Amino acid sequence: MKKQVTSYVLIRYQFPKRVAIKAKKEVPYEIKLAARLVLDELVFKWNKDALEEQINQAIDQKDYQAFDTLSKKYTKYLK
C-alpha cells in the first residue's frame, strides 16, 4: 500500500496576525478503489432487485408488454 501523504499549507491572515496550518491527508488509492467497488456492487444489486420486483409485478398483473420490456433490461444484469 502507498503511504499516506500529509501536506501542510501556511496561510497568513491580516486580521488577526496569525499563521493558520491546515493539514490534508491523502486517501490511498487502494482504499478509494475498494470503496468504489463496494459502492458499484451495492448499486448493481439494488438496481437488479428493483427490476426483479417490477418484473414480478408485471407478471402478477399479466402485463405482457411491460414484462417484455423489463426482461430485455434485465438481461444486462445476467452474468
- Are residues 70 and 58 in contact, defined by beta-carbon separation less than 8 angstroms? yes
pLDDT classification of 15: cutoffs 50, 70, 90: low
Cis peptide, bond prior to residue 16, ω within 30 of zero:
yes
Grid cell locating 67: 414484462
Query: Residue 68: pLDDT band by 50, 70, 90 thresholds?
Result: very high
pTM: 0.61
Q: Which of 40, 48, 41 is nearest to 70 (CA)?
A: 48
Buried b (16+ CB within 10 A) or exposed e, 33-63: eeeeeeeeeeeeeeeeeebeebbeebeeeee
